[in-house]
Amino acid sequence: MDTDKRIAIIGAGPAGLMAAQTLAERGFGVDVYDAMPSMGRKFLMAGKSGLNITHGEDADSFLLRYMSPDDRLTGMVRTFGSRDVIAWMEDLCIGTLTGPTGRVFPSMMKASPLLRAWLYLLQEKGVRLFTRHRWTGWTPEGALSFRTPEGDRLISTAATVFAMGGGSWKRLGSDGAWAPILSERGAFITPFKPSNCGFDIAWSNRMMEEFDGAPVKNIRMSTYTEDGNVVSRAEFVITKRGVESGGIYMLSSALRAQLEDQGTATLNIDLLPDISHADLAARLHRSRGKQSRSNFLRKVTGLTRVKMALLHEFTPREVMDDTYALAAAIKSLPLFLTGTAPLDQAISTAGGVDWAALDDNLMLTALPGCFCAGEMIDWDAPTGGYLITACLATGRAAGMGVANWLSQN
């Protein structure tokens, strides 16, 4: 058994690595353990087509993106927000690019150069990195138990930070297998739910065969919540099972809540958001002469082929023959959702360690010396840089929590 009483970080994603950096900079000996053959696999996958690491909107708008039953999360993000993420990257000699919608990326867009620089910094500060170490629980004496290719390994630590992710993307290491282990030790765990996920729609055969993979652009989507409508102007993609992609992810929490409450959810699409209802009705009221209805619609509205297909999919014939009702349908076309994509296909998950199980240092009250960070905790946020920013912020908070606890014990 190793007995040198260093601090163990279990999970080498953004939250775990930020906890390690926070502690190493304060002079603590830190070891990072990950079950996978290499560090940061989900982080690297997130950056495969451009690592959107944070967002440049104002702080108040930024904080409104987070859904959490506890305001401690937004406090942590306020303390370590988008400007702090940018400054942290600059300290790693990684510049940033801000896109037209405010999304912030590393200057080279990819995650791998950032991760390499980060791991190099950690090793320079004395952090030891261990891969292929799957945490399986504790021994009766309280040592951490890991399964490794060389056999079981037992490690005694001064404190432990758990940062093992939620319950999605099992192939990248985020499988939620830790939940029953912590639950058995008295930590209250909220069931996992898919977030930033696709949704199911009972498409016709034509929609599935002709439009699978088709993007639907220049739209306005909305759905309702107890606090009013939530809106997205981003695009979505049609799939054989329903809809997915960035615009849908912005609304996924509200849509999931409707499904939980009612068994169905309604997504309203404005197919022509830059044309008023009155202007559209006037266009549709023109005589179409000998033109077919489809040709007339296409010419006076500019609807693309996929938008026309959506309109026909969800609009009764009697509405298609009524100028004002058709204009209303184009401006607010209801798509009826029947379910979410499977949990493991979601980009992230809500649920996890309940905030009531954590003290202000992010330590599990049932397990003194054990802290949590990142997607293990029950919070939710859309893609767009918000997820990674909160993982970094909670990782930093957990690292500081460990330092505070050790200074008092």
Instruction: For residue 404, give the CATH number of its domain.
Output: 3.50.50.60
Widest distance between CA atoms in the chain: 87
Of 285, 312, 340, which residue constitutes the final position of a domain? Answer: 340
Report the interhelical angle of 305-314 vs 323-331 (nearest 10°): 110
Q: Which residues pair with 148 in a beta bridge?
A: 151
- Per-residue pLDDT at 190: 96
Residue-number span of the structural domain to which 221 is assigned: 199-340
Q: Please report whether residue 2 resides in a domain.
A: no
Measured CA to CA in angstroms, residue 130 lies from 137, 148, 180, 320, 376 at distances of 17, 10, 24, 63, 20
Q: Are both 80 and 159 inside the same structural domain?
A: yes
Q: Please report whether residue 296 resides in a domain.
A: yes
For 33, counting Cβ atoms within 10 Å of its Cβ (0-12 exposed, 13-18 middle, 19+ buried), the class is buried
With the C-alpha atoms ordered 131, 134, 140, 142, is the resulting torsion angle positive or negative?
positive
Q: Are both 99 and 190 inside the same structural domain?
A: yes
Q: Which residue has the tokens 């505070």?
A: 404
Q: E strands, 175-257, where?
A: 189-195, 199-200, 215-216, 220-225, 228-232, 236-238, 242-244
Q: Please report whether residue 1 resides in a domain.
A: no
Residue 115 has pLDDT above 80, yes or no: yes
Residue 336 has pLDDT above 90, yes or no: yes
Q: Please report whether residue 381 resides in a domain.
A: yes
- Per-residue pLDDT at 230: 86
Strand (E) or helix (H) holding 336: strand 333-337
157 — pLDDT class (breaks 50, 70, 90): very high
Strands laid side by side in the 220-225 sheet: 228-232, 220-225, 265-270, 333-337
Task: Count other Cβ atoms within 10 Å, centred on residue 245.
Answer: 17
Q: Are both 207 and 326 inside the same structural domain?
A: yes
Q: Please report whether residue 317 resides in a domain.
A: yes
Q: Are both 242 and 373 inside the same structural domain?
A: no
Of 340, 370, 392, which residue constitutes the final position of a domain? Answer: 340
Q: Are both 144 and 28 inside the same structural domain?
A: yes
Q: d(Cα 342, Cα 193) in Å, to the nearest integer?
A: 9
4 — pLDDT class (breaks 50, 70, 90): low
Torsion angle defined by CA atoms of residues 60, 64, 67 and 68, in that order, rounded to the nearest 10 degrees:
30
Q: Please report whether residue 334 resides in a domain.
A: yes
Pairing of strands 215-216, 54-55: unpaired
Measured CA to CA in angstroms, residue 304 lies from 78, 217, 307, 311, 329 at distances of 42, 9, 5, 11, 15
Q: Are both 26 and 175 inside the same structural domain?
A: yes
Of 299, 318, 340, which residue constitutes the final position of a domain? Answer: 340
Q: Please report whether residue 312 resides in a domain.
A: yes
Number of structural domains in the chain: 2
Averaged confidence pLDDT in the chain: 93
Q: Are both 90 and 238 inside the same structural domain?
A: no
- Per-residue pLDDT at 258: 94
Q: Are both 218 and 178 inside the same structural domain?
A: no
pLDDT digits (tens, 9 = 90+) for 49-94: 789 999 999 999 999 899 888 999 999 999 999 999 999 999 999 9
Torsion angle defined by CA atoms of residues 393, 398, 400 and 406, in that order, rounded to the nearest 10 degrees:
180
| Residue 367, CB-side half-sphere exposure with 13 Å CA sphere | 27
Beta carbons of 65 and 381 less than 8 angstroms apart: yes
Q: Are both 151 and 239 inside the same structural domain?
A: no
Q: Are both 168 and 265 inside the same structural domain?
A: no
pLDDT digits (tens, 9 = 90+) for 213-251: 999 999 999 998 777 788 998 899 999 999 999 889 989
- Per-residue pLDDT at 293: 77
Query: Average pLDDT of 258-286?
Result: 93
Q: Are both 178 and 269 inside the same structural domain?
A: no
Residue 288 has pLDDT above 80, yes or no: no
Q: Are both 214 and 140 inside the same structural domain?
A: no
- Per-residue pLDDT at 71: 92
- Per-residue pLDDT at 3: 40
Query: Average pLDDT of 106-121?
Result: 94
Percent with pLDDT over 90 in the chain: 79
Residue 1 has pLDDT above 50, yes or no: no
Residue 276 has pLDDT above 90, yes or no: yes
